Structure 1
Amino acid sequence: MRKSVYDLKKPLLVMSVFAMFACSLCGFTMAGEFTKTIKREFDISANGTTYLSNKYGKIEVKTWDKNRVKIAVTIVVKEGSEEDAQKVFNAISVNFSNGADYVKAETAIEQIRRSWIWDDGKADYKINYEVYVPATINLQVDQRYGDVYLASVSGKTKLTVKYGNFKTESVGDGSNFELAYGNGSIDHAENAYVGLSYSKLTINEANDLSMNSAYSGLNASKLNSLTTTAKYDNYTLGTIKSLKATGMYSKFSATNAGAVNISGQYNSVAMSEISKSLDLDLNYGSCNVSFSKGLTNATIKANYTDVTMKVLPDLCCYQLDAAANYAGVRYPQAMNVTYEVQKPTSHVVKGHVGKSDAPVIKASVNYGG
């Protein structure tokens, strides 16, 4: 009898599991994609300003030959039904305003309320801007959690991107860039300011650049001048005429540099060619530099820093004034040594190669190599 009772319960158990599985299927709905597009056009002066503010999507700014701003905002929602998608659409709006010399579009998102039982409170949507502006316009763009593309404009650009990437072509004088947690690319800039945080920036060409960066990287092919404050950064430069940097735990390298001025702690400096001047004040770091024709002067003050200096063949005349404590000084055999004192813990050397009134390379090293 016990065996027959056991057999009767087993089908019931299987049936109850099947019923639970069937109920779970009833609550599952395949997500579909729904779109809504908002379009506006506004007249604007040729040198006016367009303001764009968005999040959770992308912004593309293109140029045309009209003194008008055309904005198309496409909202893309993935939901289980059109009714649920409409609730998301109802929560998202774009606020427009304009005047003779400005156009403004700003995304506004309210709390999205839905009633279905399996809702986790998160809607899957994107808000994408496609904007046409005059090529002479000023731009002010603020983007969160999305990417930005800007075509060439001759006006001033102010761009802020957080948790996204950006790419710009040419921007006008006095532009401003702020990037956090993303990658950026600038093809050409005149005088500009850049703020970087946990980001990487690539610049093809810029005139005068000022920066403030942390935990970031800069890769620039051609710069006229760069003034920067860096923390935990990596600066890789091609050709630069003037570099002035204050850094901590940062790396600075250049292929061809004119005037270089770097100070700070725990920095690494590597300059393949310096053709004008060098002023270094380093603590707990490393220095590897080469001097070429055109050098006017070089001064290195280094504590607990390994220093390597090279003179390229085209710099035929120079003077050396080097003093080292708990470090050594090595110089070429061709040097005309005018003064040298070597002790167990110090080494001082003065001399010249070529003319005695040549540019001076002066180094003071304590506890280095």
Structure 2
Amino acid sequence: MRNKNWKSVNALLTLLLLVSGLTVNAQFSESREFVRRFRIQPETRIDITNKYGRIELNTWKKDSVVIWFKMEINEKKPDKLKKTLDNLDFDTSNSQHYLIVKTQVDKYRNQIESELLKFKETMLQSNGSIRIDLVVWLPDNRELRLENKFGDIIMGDYQGEMQINLSNGKLKAGDLSAKTNLNLNFADATISNLPAASIVSNYSDIVLKNSGTLRLESKSSTIEIQNSEDLNIDSRRDKFRIRLADKLDASGNFSHFMVNGLKGKANLRTSYGSLDVEKVLSSVSSIYIESRSTDVSLYYNPEAKFNYEITESKTNLHLDKEMKEEAKEVLDAKVNKIRHTGYFGKRMKEDQLIINAVGGEINVMAE
């Protein structure tokens, strides 16, 4: 009899644990969808700000903007679900010059709650209970500003001037043919073409197929560019891989540059990093390098012709055996500062390769 009672008690306890577990893991959800339409003028700038979801852009030939809002909220308690819904709103303002659409997730939060939310975002913690997706139809030639946090931006080609601010998300874009400004933080970006652009990148990964005139300010990022016409870089702790560069102007600290092919000219300043140019093409007019504690490797075509001037101090210098050294001048014996001058292939009228190096290693080879 006693065993039966214990079995009954155990069964009851097991049932209670299962029920309590289900209660703890229960989710209260609500989904809402709605569409807004806006008539715009040729001079209207479009400004869209979102958080905790995706922005998807589709272009058309109409003078209007249509946005499909889709949101999903999941909470463990019904009262918290209601509070989240109450704090969620969409601000819209439409005038002749501006269309502004902004997602609000903290409309009625007090100051402490708002600061706590900002702190969570600083610690890269998104609010997993909210998802807000915007699908947008708009003309492809208006000035456009997009901002998204904890979500992606998906778009094709766009002809209007554009500014994108993206944090903790992915950007996928086609040909952005007008002037473009990108600000990326903890983001991934894949872009087909940027004819005229400026990018600020922090802790991000970028893959770019083609660029015209591009200004890059980056930190702790990985950047791959297939073809670049005019590239200006200010870099800290980055990794660059550039398949083919025409004009390259770069400043790097603790950064690593890998250039598969250089065909125009380069002006490079590097500290505590590395620089490798696998192919210096015969069309290159000049290379100027200032390096400190940097490993530099340049590989010329055996048919190349250029003069060189290399000034180095406490540097491991390795020159191809076919490079003719015409002069070796000690500039400062105390720091072992030496200037090497000569040519490769044939003496030219001007110096095409100038290097000023302190420490590190310099390799100039023909292969």
Contact 1:237-1:253 within 8 A present in 2 as well:
yes
Which whole-Å CA distance do the structure 2 matches of 1:202 and 1:321 have between them? 35
**Residue from 92, 112, 115 that aligns with 1:96:** 92
Contact 2:272-2:292 within 8 A present in 1 as well:
no
> Post-superposition shift, 1:20?
4.1
TM-score (norm 1): 0.78
- Is residue 2:311 matched to residue 1:319? no
Contact 1:92-1:109 within 8 A present in 2 as well:
yes
Q: AA paired with 1:68?
A: S
In the alignment, what sits opposite 2:327?
339
Which whole-Å CA distance do the structure 2 matches of 1:204 and 1:297 have between them? 25
Contact 2:267-2:288 within 8 A present in 1 as well:
no
Matches within 5 A, 1:1-369: 10=6, 14=10, 17-18=13-14, 20-21=16-17, 24=20, 27=23, 30-31=26-27, 34-78=30-74, 88-110=84-106, 124-257=129-262, 258-274=264-280, 292-315=281-304, 317-327=305-315, 331=319, 334=322, 337-340=325-328, 349-360=340-351, 361-369=353-361
Partner SS for 1:140: strand
Indicate the structure (1 or 2) with the bigger Cα radius of gyration: 1
Which whole-Å CA distance do the structure 2 matches of 1:29 and 1:304 have between them? 56
Which whole-Å CA distance do the structure 2 matches of 1:233 and 1:335 have between them? 32
For the structure 1 residues 219 and 31, does the alpha-carbon distance in structure 2 shift closer, same or farther, using more than 3 Å as the test? Answer: same
Which whole-Å CA distance do the structure 1 matches of 2:317 and 2:19 have between them? 82
> Post-superposition shift, 1:297?
3.6
Contact 1:153-1:171 within 8 A present in 2 as well:
yes
Partner SS for 2:224: strand
TM-score (norm 2): 0.79
Point out which structure has higher relative CO (alpha carbons under 8 A, 6+ apart): 2
For the structure 1 residues 98 and 348, does the alpha-carbon distance in structure 2 shift closer, same or farther, using more than 3 Å as the test? Answer: closer
Q: AA paired with 1:169?
A: G
Q: AA paired with 1:215?
A: S
Residue identity over aligned pairs, in percent, reads 18
For the structure 1 residues 152 and 21, does the alpha-carbon distance in structure 2 shift closer, same or farther, using more than 3 Å as the test? Answer: same
Which consecutive residues of structure 2, in runs of 5 or more, have no partner in the other structure? Answer: 110-126, 362-367
> Post-superposition shift, 1:335?
5.2
> Post-superposition shift, 1:358?
4.2
> Post-superposition shift, 1:123?
6.8
Partner SS for 1:155: coil
> Post-superposition shift, 1:214?
0.8
> Post-superposition shift, 1:311?
3.0
Contact 2:279-2:298 within 8 A present in 1 as well:
no
Partner SS for 1:57: coil
Contact 1:193-1:211 within 8 A present in 2 as well:
yes
